[in-house]
Structure 1
Amino acid sequence: MSIERHGLSVGIERVGEDFFLTLKAVGKLTHEDYKQITPLLESALDGLEEPRGLVFVDATHMEGWELRAAWDDFKLGMAHGKKFKKVAIWGNKNWQEMAAKIGGWFVSGDVKFFTYHDDALNWLLSDD
């Protein structure tokens, strides 16, 4: 029997004055995954009034999106993209780097792709 893992894990905390959101994507994300996680994310982001959020995305175990899930992801970005100062995406596939560049069009802050975990966190927490 093969077990197919997919979904998003979310961590939320404060780092100094900043809101710190950690997302870990696993497998091929589905519309059902977004139906489960969207209310939690929207509730957490509701209180952010200025772009003070920092986001760390671990995409090292992500395989992609179903088409409807990609649309769900786009809608979340459009609704909340102005709330983030920086988004660091840690991945290991060429398509993830391209997705990060496209996603950067919809976020008011900086979006960067990294192949090393520590590089992503150091950039995210730096003042530049």
Structure 2
Amino acid sequence: MDIYKHGIDIGLQKVNNNFFLTMKVKGKLTHEDYETIFPILDNALEGITQPKIKALVDCSEFEGWELQAAWDDIRLGLKHGNEFEKIAIINNKKWLEISASVVSWFIQGEIKNFENEQEAFNWLDV
């Protein structure tokens, strides 16, 4: 039996002296994936005044969204967009670069695409 993995792994990673929010996006995201993500992110940010998050989002295994999940992604940007200082996206797909530019309309911080993790962390760590 084949196993199909999809969703978002969320974590914190310390690089040099800084902590970063890390996310690994896999497969095709569903509305149910976002229903899980929203409370986790809300709880992580609760009580923090003026958060300035630097995030690494690895989309190398990302295949896209279901229609409602795409809307959920926009809702996430509208709700938490002003809390991000920088978002580094690792991807190898042109359509993801275009999607990232659309997402940037809802995010106050900078968004930049990278081909590998080292380049992404170097940019975030500045």
Q: Normalising by the residue count of structure 1, what TM-score does the alignment of the two structures yield? A: 0.89
The separation in 1 between residues aligned to 2:95 and 2:28, in whole angstroms, is: 13
Preserved CA contact (<8 Å) 1:49 1:83: no
Match for residue 98 of structure 1?
Answer: 98
Preserved CA contact (<8 Å) 1:86 1:110: yes
2:43 is the alignment partner of 1:43: yes
Preserved CA contact (<8 Å) 1:19 1:52: no
Q: Which runs of 5+ in 2 are unaligned?
A: none
**Offset, 1:51:** 4.6
The separation in 2 between residues aligned to 1:93 and 1:77, in whole angstroms, is: 21
CA gap 1:7/1:21 in 2 versus in 1, 3 angstroms: same
CA gap 1:105/1:24 in 2 versus in 1, 3 angstroms: same
Q: RMSD of the TM alignment (CA)?
A: 1.6
Task: State the aligned residue count.
Answer: 125
3-state SS, counterpart of residue 104 of structure 2 = helix
Q: Which moved more, 1:29-38 or 1:45-54?
A: 45-54
2:60 is the alignment partner of 1:60: yes
Q: Which runs of 5+ in 1 are unaligned?
A: none
Q: Which moved more, 1:108-117 or 1:56-65?
A: 108-117
Identity of aligned residues (%): 48
The separation in 2 between residues aligned to 1:37 and 1:63, in whole angstroms, is: 18
Structural mapping, 1:1-128, within 5 Å: 1-12=1-12, 20-126=20-126
The separation in 2 between residues aligned to 1:69 and 1:101, in whole angstroms, is: 18
Q: Normalising by the residue count of structure 2, what TM-score does the alignment of the two structures yield? A: 0.91
**Offset, 1:22:** 0.6
